[in-house]
Amino acid sequence: MRNPTGSPHLLVAEGLSVGHGGAPVCAPVDLRLGAGRALAVVGPNGSGKSTLLRTLVGLLEPLAGTVAFDGARVDERAAAFRRDVAAVLDDDAFFVSLTGREHLLLTARGHGVAAPEDVVDAEVAAFGLGERADALPSALSSGQRRRLALAAAFVRPARLLVLDEPERRLDAGMRARLAARLVSLRDAGTAVLFASHDPDVVGTAADEVLVVDDDACRLLAPAEAADRIAEL
């Protein structure tokens, strides 16, 4: 029923040019990401990683080229797309009157997760939020708010998980646990796409690395990309 093209790839971008106001921010991108694979996007600040991710999840229109998810053109308005794709980008927005736990419960219930309280409790513990989960977002530190936003991606089902610099504002221990979570998700069959500046997270979780640049965007194996990441 799904994926009418029969392609084994969940996310496919061809000749994708991304940018703002008609001006591309990086070279055109071609990528294919299948279920159970993880792709890291690396590049210096301002190279267009976030713009690329926002375009891939349908929040920005491509300047040229195409993006398809599960064989159909990406349309973030479609309920099926939103059911299948979890994205944590650079947003730091919360309902001021809802606690962290309520945000997670809202997300879990909105996705029809069975036993949402148990799932939320587990993720609250996994992301080290503990009792702070019952505080309002304004009472959380920026790192705790980041953990909360990331936890929301794990209390719901997703076939594709997209994260923009998930390591940002996290301590070293949390970064390592996050990388391990990404690996287990990937191994369970979820496609994972993330932008990162952290060589450890990239080395642990990624099967392939897309290096974004003005001149050309290249796909490399993590070992090949290690030097490039270190330069950044």
Partner 1 sequence: MSTTTGLEVSPAPLDGAAVRRLTRRATAARAQTTLATRLGDAWGGLVSAAIGVAVAGGSLVSLREEVALAGAPVTGTTLPASLTSAALAVLALAGTVVVLARLGPVSATPAAAAWWLPLPADRRGLLRGELLRLTAAAVAVAVLLTLPLVLGGAPAPTGASVLGGLGWAGSLAAAAVGGTALLQSRRRGRGVADVAGVVAAAAAVLPAVAGTLGAADGRLLDVPTAGALPGWLLGAGTVAALVLIGQADRGLGRLDAGRLLAGGATARYAGASLLSLDTRHLGRALAGRDRPPRRSRRFRRARQPWQAVVAGDLAVLTRGRWQLGQLAVAAAVPVVVARTEGLGALPPAVWAGCLLGWGLAATAAGRPAREAQAAPELDRLFALSAAAVVRSRAVLPLAVTAVVCTLSGLLLGVGTGAAGTWTLLGPAVAPAWAAAALRGACRPDPDWSGPAVSTPMGVLPAGVGATLVQGVDVGVVGSLPLLAALLLGGPTPLLVAVQLAWSLLLAGAVLAQLGRRRTAG
Q: Which residues bind partner 1 (CB under 8 A)?
A: 21-22, 35, 58-61, 76-77, 79-80, 82-83, 86-87, 91, 93-98, 102-103, 106-107, 109-115, 119, 149, 152, 154-159, 185, 188-190
Query: Which amino acid, one-letter code, is at 205?
Result: A
Q: Which is nearer to partner 1, 42 or 148 (CB)?
A: 148
Q: Which is nearer to partner 1, 139 or 216 (CB)?
A: 139
* Strand order, beta sheet including 29-34: 29-34, 9-17, 64-69, 72-73
Query: Which amino acid, one-letter code, is at 29?
Result: V
Q: Which is nearer to partner 1, 111 or 228 (CB)?
A: 111
Tokens encoding 226: 């290690």
Question: Which residues does 190 contact at the CB level (< 8 Å), separation at least 6?
Answer: 35, 36, 158, 159, 160, 161
Q: Which is nearer to partner 1, 22 or 230 (CB)?
A: 22
Q: Which is nearer to partner 1, 77 or 231 (CB)?
A: 77
Give one DSSP letter per residue of 91-103, joined into a string: -----TTS-HHHH
The two beta strands, 64-69 and 218-220, are: unpaired
Could you tell me the smallest distance in angstroms from the CB atom of residue 70 to partner 1? 13
Q: Are 51 and 41 a contacting pair, CB within 8 Å?
A: no
Q: Which is nearer to partner 1, 91 or 231 (CB)?
A: 91
How far apart, in whole angstroms, are the C-alpha atoms of residue 192 and residue 156?
14
Could you tell me the smallest distance in angstroms from the CB atom of residue 53 to partner 1? 13
Could you tell me the smallest distance in angstroms from the CB atom of residue 199 to partner 1? 26
Could you tell me the smallest distance in angstroms from the CB atom of residue 83 to partner 1? 4
Could you tell me the smallest distance in angstroms from the CB atom of residue 69 to partner 1? 14
Q: Are 186 and 192 a contacting pair, CB within 8 Å?
A: yes
Could you tell me the smallest distance in angstroms from the CB atom of residue 75 to partner 1? 8
